[in-house]
Amino acid sequence: MSQAHKVAGLTFARGLWDHPPVRRNNALSIVEKLQRAGHQAVFAGGCVRDALLGLEPADYDIATSATPNQVEALFDKTVPIGRAFGIVLVGAGDHYYEVATFRHDDAYLDGRRPVAVRFVDMETDARRRDFTINAMFEDPLAGVVHDFVGGRADLKTGIVRAVGDAEQRFAEDRLRLLRAVRFSARFGFPIEAATLAAMPPVAASITQVSAERIGEELLRMLTEGAARRAFELLDDTGLLGHVLPEIAAMKGCAQPPDFHPEGDVFVHTMLCLGQLAAGCSESLALGVLLHDVAKPPCAVTTPEGRRTFHGHTKQGAQMAEQICRRLRRSNATTMRVAFLVDQHLRHCSAAQMRRANLTRFLRQDGIDELLELARIDAVSSNGDLGHYEFCTDSLAELPVEALRPPPLLKGEDLMGLGLEPGPRFRTILTAVEDAQLDGTLADRDAAIAFVHERFLQ
């Protein structure tokens, strides 16, 4: 797992800590101590899969025959985040690792979690996991991989296959529907036929999963370097219309061919997703996904047959904010995404802006992401990068002191001229800054003269 665990006001973030050798060595020390105490202890799941693929694991989860009580008795730094499910966080170095007792899950009644678990052996634990490639164990001391479900063969073939009966695995935890899509996209592995066939009939049940868990999976899809493949597979399996109906609504929404020869809004958005690099920011990824989200509700065909989308940036920003909040994204991310959607066409008028307005546009927080969205939007449509290049060239030519020069006048200067504080101060100071950015005012004396001429006559 790579999500953060929040316990007693603290956050134990896993997967983004320190250098990889330190992560592995810390986890190895936990395995060693458990084995010395007479327990089975192994690396489990994704870290085994990634190591076999030649990838550096993002984190190390540990599975053991020790019960939660035995784990807590053995280690000084522990947090019982899920004792009922056999899960304890164990501190090693400055970080915490998940240690889970081998278990079998009893009945699932809500498509999310079992009503109870039983502590079992390693093989039984493997057979309750989601996909074969995630159900292997490694004894790092003995150098042995334990594979009871054919995970190594499926890794070699390159396929995502449910452990055992796919319908049962998806019924146990509906989030596995999204995880199947994510692993298929991330590794470029097709989903095994029986596993894939089990997905569309239960796609609507994905809404049983909390919005936060859905949001986390979608963000991983968007930022792991295979966003286009992931979202096309979401569509193919029927999941897209249930997790993001606003994106599914883009299908069939025609666009003017002179600006969008690639096709409708959905085709364009998928091409844009294909431009997202692995490790891109959450806000850029969501901005790219949602930049045209309001085109379907704003679409109008004029009597002359022209297709227009007036107001789609403003309405899109509102829709993007609602979607981000629905997916439980942070306020900072939500506001940045709304900004990107609202402003994503503003660069097209940059060449006509007066110098002050252009400077204000280019110095906005988030301008780097906004211009990257503009680039992605352009290369995924008619390929015209002229407006984007004008902005990037202008930004490169503006030194930092020109973007945010020290103000020539402040409020106390206006009071010194006999003006009373109030809303008019903002108007005057903005006018002074505009003239400064335009290059018509260079010093304080000129600014005072400007105020006298414009506001004190």
pLDDT per position as a tens digit, 55-70: 989 889 999 999 999 9
For 405-424, the pLDDT digits (tens) are: 888 898 888 898 888 888 88
In 3D space, the residue among 346, 348, 340, 259 whose CA is nearest the CA of residue 293 turns out to be 340
Q: What is the CATH number of the domain that holds 33?
A: 3.30.460.10
Assess if residue 219 is contained within a domain.
Answer: no
Q: Collect contacts of 316-322 with beta carbons under 8 A, ≥24 apart.
A: 316/290, 316/291, 316/292, 316/341, 316/342, 317/341, 317/342, 318/294, 319/246, 319/290, 319/293, 319/294, 320/286, 320/287, 320/290, 320/293
Whole-model pTM over 0.75: yes
Q: Are residues 392 and 441 in the same domain?
A: no
Assess if residue 166 is contained within a domain.
Answer: no
Q: Collect contacts of 241-248 with beta carbons under 8 A, ≥24 apart.
A: 241/203, 242/203, 242/204, 242/206, 242/207, 243/178, 243/206, 243/214, 243/218, 244/218, 244/323, 246/290, 246/293, 246/296, 246/319, 246/323, 247/289, 247/293
Task: Work out how many domains the chain is built from and give that number.
Answer: 3
Q: Is 96 helix (H, G, I), strand (E, B) or coil?
A: strand
Q: Are residues 358 and 419 in the same domain?
A: no
**Higher pLDDT pick, 254 / 105:** 254
Q: Are residues 77 and 110 in the same domain?
A: yes
Q: Are residues 341 and 434 in the same domain?
A: no
Tokens representing 346 are 């503003």
Q: Are residues 248 and 391 in the same domain?
A: yes
Domain-terminating residue out of 136, 157, 178: 157
Bridge partners (DSSP) listed for residue 108:
114
Tell me the average pLDDT across 347-351: 96
Q: Are residues 7 and 137 in the same domain?
A: yes
In 3D space, the residue among 405, 411, 415 whose CA is nearest the CA of residue 443 turns out to be 405
- The pLDDT value recorded for residue 17 is 35
- Please, are residues 273 and 222 in contact by the beta-carbon 8 Å criterion? yes
**Is pLDDT of 399 > 90?**
no
Q: Are residues 375 and 437 in the same domain?
A: no
Q: Which of 50-54, 129-133, 183-187, 409-413 has the lowest mean pLDDT?
A: 409-413
Rounded Cα distance, 196 and 183, in Å: 13
Rounded Cα distance, 343 and 361, in Å: 10
Assess if residue 210 is contained within a domain.
Answer: no
Q: What is the mean pLDDT of the chain?
A: 91
In 3D space, the residue among 256, 352, 346 whose CA is nearest the CA of residue 309 turns out to be 256
Q: Which residue range forms the structural domain that includes residue 432?
A: 411-455
Assess if residue 300 is contained within a domain.
Answer: yes
Assess if residue 239 is contained within a domain.
Answer: no
Cα separations (Å) of 276 from 273, 345, 392?
5, 19, 19
Three-point CA angle 143, 145, 149, nearest 5°: 175
Q: Are residues 273 and 388 in the same domain?
A: yes
Rounded Cα distance, 349 and 347, in Å: 5
For 217-239, the pLDDT digits (tens) are: 999 999 999 999 999 999 999 99
Q: Are residues 24 and 148 in the same domain?
A: yes
- The pLDDT value recorded for residue 143 is 92
Q: Are residues 380 and 254 in the same domain?
A: yes
Q: Are residues 312 and 441 in the same domain?
A: no
Backbone angles phi, psi at 259, to 5 degrees: -95, -30
- The pLDDT value recorded for residue 420 is 85
Neighbours of 3 (CB within 10 A): 13
**Is pLDDT of 84 > 90?**
no
Assess if residue 236 is contained within a domain.
Answer: no
Confidence class for position 71, pLDDT limits 50, 70, 90: very high
Q: Are residues 150 and 45 in the same domain?
A: yes
Confidence class for position 289, pLDDT limits 50, 70, 90: very high
